[in-house]
Amino acid sequence: MSIRFDSVTVAYDGNVVLDSLDLTVAPGEVMALLGPSGSGKTTALRAVAGFVRPASGRVLLGGRDVTDLPPHRRGIGMVVQQYALFPHLRVEDNVAFGLRARRTPRAEIRERVAEALEMTGMAAYARRYPRELSGGQQQRVAIARALAVRPAVLLLDEPLSALDARLRSGMLAELARLHRELPDVSILYVTHDQMEALTLADRIAVMDKARLRACGTPRELYRAPADEFTASFVGNANLLPVTVTASGAALGDARLTVDTAGAAAGARATLCVRPHLVGLGDGPNRLTGTVREIQWRGSTHRLHVDVAGHAVMADLPELRDPPAHGAEIALHFAPEDAVLLAAGVSGDER
Amino acid sequence: MNADPTLRSAPVPGTPPAPVPGTPPAPVPGTPPAPAPGTPPASAPGSAPAPAPGSTPAPAPGSTPARAAHPVAAPAADPGTGVGGGPAGPGRGRRLRGASPLLWALPPVALLAVFFLYPLALVVRQSFQPDSGGTSLQPYADVFASPAFREALWTTVWLALASTAGCLVLGFLLALVIAFVPFPGAKGVARFIDVFLSFPSFLITLALLFVYGRTGLANGLWTGATGAADGPFDFLTTPWGVLLAEVTYFTPFVMRPLLAAFAQLDTAQLEAASSLGARAPRIVRQVILPEALPALAAGGSLVLVLCLNEFGIVLFTGAKGVTTLPMLVYGKAILESDYPGACVVAVVNVLISVGLYGLYRVVSRRAGA
């Protein structure tokens, strides 16, 4: 079932927390709402669930306007960060809660509870109470509870944030598997973690300050971000202020060859280069600078280099012979790995 | 059951801050300082000579030998602690600290004994001494045989039970509204409940008299409007009047712990239930009520005990036909000068209260409230 935001604005006490959001999630699509806290992403999700009422605009599910429907009539599955299991109910009764609320026949309840627990790998824990489970197990139960009612729309609000890093990557794979098993379910996935969004989402909607900044496939947003905020929030980015020239861009004295995409010569712009696409030594688009910091990260070295007063990060495969602090080194990047962002698109609002 | 005890704000009444029997820390004699955080550094068991080993209330069996060993250990411990000043300095501090829990306990215990336990014992003794002289169970036999007592006992119990039930239902509904229905002034109402708790019980009765009394507001409106001689409201002097007054007065006692419990309730649970398709009644029944049970149990048993002993409300309604145990005690002692009889009734009343309080403690502890 599709989810559509039609200029949805939400305000609390005159404070706009979601500003005229237009977004459509296709049936069966996983859409990640990615943004820092306070960006309005959770508000958007709660507007779909029916817990906040838009000041203006409509929310549509499968083409039906649900803006005025109470939450219990929207037929949505929802999973939140803190699980929100019912502590006095056993796992199986937690999972059966939604089915009982819908007056599903008893035999069918048993069947679907078993199915949902099977799907989330929690069948062995049906008789336990939530407090007898670990955080990861509780989150699986919460997911089973949401899936048991066979919702056409699943809302996930930071579902992995309460788990530790190792569990998180396991659950991420689990969620991806669940989505393959339930290809018709549309998922709206709210997160502030770019890795979760990049891994799981078909498309990512980047949000900041109550507004939608950019929306696209992870690859699009990563390879060709539309603005500085998106560039820095989806993956790491070196953002360098440059001046557009006839053949490319100028950073201080350095002449760089990049695709200007029709920008007028002399205009100011921001050059975005991903740190892992920066190489050490001579090459096209050579930059020289002073090593300020060297971080060894096991499989990689991260260098922080001062290039004519601008900080440039380079993620390099582990170096056998890393440069010393304060050393003068040369860096380079391929012309096709850099993206020129028009300055002022986002810079003026920050 | 599920309730996290640390979340509940309802204080467990009566639990003293665990005065460890055999108080002084008294670790292995001779061990250098700071055995546990909080114990004074110079707490070496040594020197504290003051409290004679036998005088401690409930001296743990192990404590006496430990104390006997102190003098031996003291010299070894002192150089170890090496805190500046002469040995007298730390020694004095030690003595004070070691003895202080006992010293501090003494005044309240003495006060309690003189002003509460001793009179209570007198009441109990009096109840076994009929006016005819000697000591016998005769007063009990007399009182238990009298229809007035049995009626008062029955009235007391059913009034208390009915009031408690009324308070629980009304309190739960009101607390639900205050906690979960956003309306302007909800906070003010919640605060007013705190103030209400401090009102004397007869004040409520007095207020009810003004409204529903024979010459009260409601009847005045009625007679003014219809020209009739008497208004329709004449229930205040019946048991129903007492019931109304008790429910009115004691409902906040139920709401207070309930509001505290509701404040701790995870709203995400309510939202989860709602998104799963549950309407408000189901959410109240299956999510909120189970969470509120400990608070309901705590508030309910408190109100039950308070209702059993309520005197002011019954007296103030002027309900002639409503005689509860406290009223019976009052009548026998003050009006009939039948002290043994009054004492018997009082003892029965005390026993019921203490029994219920015990039940309350068991329930509230099991519920984790």
Minimum Cα–Cα distance from A95: chain B residue:
B276
A241: nearest Cα among A349, A334, A341, A350:
A341
The answer to whether residue B279 neighbours chain A at the CB level (below 8 Å) is yes
The C-alpha atoms of residue A244 and residue A232 are separated, in whole angstroms, by 21
Helix (H) or strand (E) holding A300: strand A300-307
The C-alpha atoms of residue A262 and residue A258 are separated, in whole angstroms, by 11
Q: What is the pLDDT of residue A267?
A: 84
The token pair that represents A26 in the structure block: 């296709």
- Burial category of B128 from C-beta neighbours within 10 Å (exposed 0-12, middle 13-18, buried 19 and up): middle
- Say if the Cβ atoms of B278 and A82 lie within 8 Å: no
The answer to whether residue B5 neighbours chain A at the CB level (below 8 Å) is no
Least confident of A20-34, A89-103, B12-26, B243-257: B12-26
- Say if the Cβ atoms of A131 and B269 lie within 8 Å: no
The C-alpha atoms of residue A282 and residue B208 are separated, in whole angstroms, by 94
The C-alpha atoms of residue B214 and residue B141 are separated, in whole angstroms, by 40
Length of chain B: 369
Give tens-digit pLDDT for A201-258: 999 999 998 999 889 999 989 888 888 889 988 888 899 998 888 888 888 888 888 8
Q: What is the pLDDT of residue A204?
A: 93
- What residues contact residue A280 under an 8 Å CB cut-off, 6+ apart? A303, A314, A316, A319, A323, A329, A330, A331
CB < 8 Å to B7, chain A: none
- Burial category of B182 from C-beta neighbours within 10 Å (exposed 0-12, middle 13-18, buried 19 and up): exposed
- Burial category of A194 from C-beta neighbours within 10 Å (exposed 0-12, middle 13-18, buried 19 and up): buried
Q: What is the pLDDT of residue B62?
A: 38
CA distance A32 to chain B (A): 20
The C-alpha atoms of residue B235 and residue B242 are separated, in whole angstroms, by 9
CB < 8 Å to A78, chain B: 271-272, 275
- Say if the Cβ atoms of A72 and B272 lie within 8 Å: no
The C-alpha atoms of residue A85 and residue A81 are separated, in whole angstroms, by 11
Minimum Cα–Cα distance from B278: chain A residue:
A101
- Say if the Cβ atoms of A97 and B278 lie within 8 Å: yes
Q: What is the pLDDT of residue A186?
A: 93
Minimum Cα–Cα distance from B266: chain A residue:
A84
- Say if the Cβ atoms of B268 and A80 lie within 8 Å: yes
Query: In what order do the strands lie in the sheet containing A211-216?
Result: A76-80, A153-157, A186-191, A30-34, A203-208, A211-216
By Cβ distance, the residue of B2, B275, B276 closest to A87 is B2
Measured CA to CA in angstroms, residue B68 lies from A17, B25, B273 at distances of 72, 14, 64
Instruction: Write out residues 130-159 of A within 8 Å (CB-CB) of B.
Output: 131, 142, 145-146, 149, 155
**How do strand A287-296 and strand A328-332 relate by DSSP bridges?**
antiparallel
pLDDT along chain B (369 residues), means of 10: 42 42 41 41 40 40 39 38 41 55 85 88 86 80 85 88 94 90 82 84 82 77 78 76 89 91 88 90 91 88 88 78 83 83 88 84 66
User: For chains A and B, what is the number of CB pairs under 8 angstroms?
Assistant: 73
DSSP assignment string, A94-157: HHHHHHHHTT--HHHHHHHHHHHHHHTT-GGGTTS-GGGS-HHHHHHHHHHHHHHT--SEEEEE
Would you tell me how many other CB atoms lie within 10 Å of the CB of residue B271?
20
B52 vs A313, higher pLDDT? A313
By Cβ distance, the residue of B1, B278, B287 closest to A72 is B278
B70 within 8 A of B78, measured Cβ to Cβ? no
Instruction: Write out residues 67-126 of A within 8 Å (CB-CB) of B.
Output: 70-78, 80, 82, 84-89, 97-98, 101-102
pTM for the full model? Answer: 0.70
The answer to whether residue B198 neighbours chain A at the CB level (below 8 Å) is no
A114 vs B97, higher pLDDT? A114
Q: What is the pLDDT of residue A308?
A: 86
CB < 8 Å to B367, chain A: none
- Say if the Cβ atoms of B278 and A51 lie within 8 Å: no
Phi-psi region of A150 (alpha: psi -120 to 50; beta: other; left: phi over 0): left
By Cβ distance, the residue of A70, A80, A101 closest to B276 is A101
Fold of B124-367: MetI-like fold (1.10.3720)
By Cβ distance, the residue of A97, A129, A131 closest to B276 is A97
CA distance B7 to chain A (A): 14
The C-alpha atoms of residue B39 and residue B20 are separated, in whole angstroms, by 13
The answer to whether residue B276 neighbours chain A at the CB level (below 8 Å) is yes
- Say if the Cβ atoms of B269 and A84 lie within 8 Å: yes
- Say if the Cβ atoms of B275 and A72 lie within 8 Å: yes
Minimum Cα–Cα distance from A102: chain B residue:
B277
- Say if the Cβ atoms of B271 and A101 lie within 8 Å: no
The C-alpha atoms of residue A87 and residue A97 are separated, in whole angstroms, by 12
The answer to whether residue B282 neighbours chain A at the CB level (below 8 Å) is yes
CB < 8 Å to B269, chain A: 84-86
Mutate to test the interface with A, among B6, B267, B275, B279 (most CBs of A within 10 A): B275
The C-alpha atoms of residue A251 and residue A243 are separated, in whole angstroms, by 7
